[in-house]
Each structure stands twice: as structure tokens, then as C-alpha cells.
């Protein structure tokens, strides 16, 4: 049956410091009130950290539009290559994947030398021993070798941050997101999701195996009959749910960064309204204030929603007080 009227209770907007705290709130809400609930989002990447949190806490769910492509996304594959390389520095395949995506200033000629002289050796030791390097280039490779040793000592959450900053992966993304048809904001959104998955984990191996297990969880969560549904807003059309939580209504994401023309913006606004009207009883919009360490201001749609008199006052979940500004 199609939902064609607003929820019985006032829509509410709730702020959270980060994804991990938002996901903890969702888990707690479901455990407190396990009745029918949908978690809706604009883009499939939003499902990753939610799936992870729910499954960790033994909460089954039914997922529509499974995000299998997101679990094979090139950015996640890059991170897995870094993680595999820190565990096995002899891994030539994963080294080749990320050699030009970090600040080791590795040239094509240097990569070819490593491939030709590999024979199962540690790739960083081969880089240091390349005979045609200048002294300053050798020192750079010595630094890179030391950085990967330091990386191997970090927990996965801290390791991803180290890869972004100390190894220069963020700089690579800034230079190449346009080529991949993606904004830097969307790249940070993905990194934030990966960090939320990594946060409770202890080792690089844990992160690698968790990503693989999520693929199995996705396959097993289709048509599960659970009271908890994860779906894109598109996938929820024509459906209604007792309670709805909408997530990741972020600038340049929803509305999308290309939705600047009136017609495109109105289409996005209509989609937002579709999500808003899926709820029979309660609707809450959960907004994260920081995405991958950067401030995440309100989307245009959040500002429009909280300006309505029938919306509960914006609440800061961190303090429990009305949010300012």
C-alpha cells in the first residue's frame, strides 16, 4: 500500500558527531523498539556502515538494492591493497596497484625494476636497493619502508587515517576524483564509511576479513522477512513502514552535486519527499556533523525541513540540547 500522507508524529532532525555514534543510536533504537523500521538513503554506499553495525549486534535486516558494487569499489580495493601490503610486504600485485597512489614518488622505471628483481623479496627493500636512484630518492624509499612498518602497528581505523595523510592517499584522490567522475566530498563519504567499519577492529587481517564477510551478509539479507529494511529511497517507492530513519542527506550528495538546474533540483526534492512520506508513524532524519574529519553542513533539504512548523526542533544528540545555528 502506498504511503501518501505524512507520518502521524512530527518529523525530527537529530545531529550526531560521526557515523559511528549515529549507527550506535540506530542500533539502540531498534533494540528498544524492534517494530517495523526502514533506514533510507540516497546512495548505496550509505548502507555499508549500517549493515556492519546491525550485523555486529545480531540484528537481522532485509536489504533492497544490495550495495555489492560498493563492496568492490576501487577505493575500497585500494585500501585493501594497502592493508595486504602491510601484512605481506612481498605482495607484488597489491604493491603494483597502489605504487602511484602514495607519496613514495615511485616512477614507472622503478616499478619495472621491482617487478624484474622481485623473486619473492620485500618490495620496499628492493626499492631502497635500486642502483640508479639518487641519494635523495633512496632516502625517500627508506622513509616509505619505515612508514609501512609503522602502518603495520596501527589498528585499522588509525591505519586508514595514516594511509590518507602520511602516505598521501588523500592527495591522490584530490587530483583524480574528477577523472573518476566523483567529487571529493563523495570520496570522503566513502572513506568515512570504511572507517566506521574499521573502528571496532583490532588488526589489518580483521578489516580484510570483515569486508569479505559483509559480501556474504548482503547475499543472505535479501528477502529475509525482517522487520528492519535497508533501502535506497528509489527502492522504497510504493512502500510504507511504521518508522523511517533517513540518513546521509548531505551537501553535494542529496541533492546531488549535478542537481543545480531547477528541473534537476526539483527532481531531487521530489525524491526527498518520497522518503519523507514512507513513514506511517514516525520519521527522523539523522545528520552527521563531521564526515571524515571535515565539517558537514546541512543539506538544502535539511534546512527546508527544519524551517517547517510541523518539524520537531533540530536536536543535538551529543548534548541532548537544541542545536544552535
State in Å, rounded, how far the first CA of the chain is from the last one: 38
Instruction: Kindly state the helix (H) or strand (E) to which residue 208 belongs, with its residue range.
Output: helix 204-220
Whole-model pTM? 0.88
Q: What is the pLDDT of residues 262-300, one digit of tens each?
A: 778 888 889 999 999 999 999 999 999 998 888 888 888
Residue 230, strand partner residues: 39, 63
Interior/surface letters 58-75, b for 16+ CB within 10 angstroms, e for the rest: ebebbbbbbbeebbebeb
**Residue 308 DSSP code:** S
CATH topology of domain 72-204: PCRA; domain 4 (1.10.486)
What is the spatial distance between Cα 303 and Cα 313, in angstroms, rounded to a whole number? 11
Second CATH level (architecture) for the domain 12-66+221-322: 3-Layer(aba) Sandwich (3.40)
> What values do phi and psi take at 281, rounded to 5?
-115, -55
Domain map (residue ranges) of the chain: 12-66+221-322, 72-204
In tens digits, the chain (325 residues) has pLDDT values of 344 555 567 888 999 999 999 999 999 999 999 999 999 999 999 999 999 999 999 999 999 989 999 999 999 999 999 999 999 999 999 999 999 999 999 999 999 999 999 999 999 999 999 999 999 999 999 999 999 999 999 999 999 999 999 999 999 999 998 898 888 888 999 999 999 999 999 999 999 999 999 999 998 888 778 999 999 999 999 999 999 999 999 887 887 766 556 778 888 889 999 999 999 999 999 999 998 888 888 888 888 888 876 655 555 554 444 443 3
Residue 39, strand partner residues: 230, 245
Amino acid at each position: 500500500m502506498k504511503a501518501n500522507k505524512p507520518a502521524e508524529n512530527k518529523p525530527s532532525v537529530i545531529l550526531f558527531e560521526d557515523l559511528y555514534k549515529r549507527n550506535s543510536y540506530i542500533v539502540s533504537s531498534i533494540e528498544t523498539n524492534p517494530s517495523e523500521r526502514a533506514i533510507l538513503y540516497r546512495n548505496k554506499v550509505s548502507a555499508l556502515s549500517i549493515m556492519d553495525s546491525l550485523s555486529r549486534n545480531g540484528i537481522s535486516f532485509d536489504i533492497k538494492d544490495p550495495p555489492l558494487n560498493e563492496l568492490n569499489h576501487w577505493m575500497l580495493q585500494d585500501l585493501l591493497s594497502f592493508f595486504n601490503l602491510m601484512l605481506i610486504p612481498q605482495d607484488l600485485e597489491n604493491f603494483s596497484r597502489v605504487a602511484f597512489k602514495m607519496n613514495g614518488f615511485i616512477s614507472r622505471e622503478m616499478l619495472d625494476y621491482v617487478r624484474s628483481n622481485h623473486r619473492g623479496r620485500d618490495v620496499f627493500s628492493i626499492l631502497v636497493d635500486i642502483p640508479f636512484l639518487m641519494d635523495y630518492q633512496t632516502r625517500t624509499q627508506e622513509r616509505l619502508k619505515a612508514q609501512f612498518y609503522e602502518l603495520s602497528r596501527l589498528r585499522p581505523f588509525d591505519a586508514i587515517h595514516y594511509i590518507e595523510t602520511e602516505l598521501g592517499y588523500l592527495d591522490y584522490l584530490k587530483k583524480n576524483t574528477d577523472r573518476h567522475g566523483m567529487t571529493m566530498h563523495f570520496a570522503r563519504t566513502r572513506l568515512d564509511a570504511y572507517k566506521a567499519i574499521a573502528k571496532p577492529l583490532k588488526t589489518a587481517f580483521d578489516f580484510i576479513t570483515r569486508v569479505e564477510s559483509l559480501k556474504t551478509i548482503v547475499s543472505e539479507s535479501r528477502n529475509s522477512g525482517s522487520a528492519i529494511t535497508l533501502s535506497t529511497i528509489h527502492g522504497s517507492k510504493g512502500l510504507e513502514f511504521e518508522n523511517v530513519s533517513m540518513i546521509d542527506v548531505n551537501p553535494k550528495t542529496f541533492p546531488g552535486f549535478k542537481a543545480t538546474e531547477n528541473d534537476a533540483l526539483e527532481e531531487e526534492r521530489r525524491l526527498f519527499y518520497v522518503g519523507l512520506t514512507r513513514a506511517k508513524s514516525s520519521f527522523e532524519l539523522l545528520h552527521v556533523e563531521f564526515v571524515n574529519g571535515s565539517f558537514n553542513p546541512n543539506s538544502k533539504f535539511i534546512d527546508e525541513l527544519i524551517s517547517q512548523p510541523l518539524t520537531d526542533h533540530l536536536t543535538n544528540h551529543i548534548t541532548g540540547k537544541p542545536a544552535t545555528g
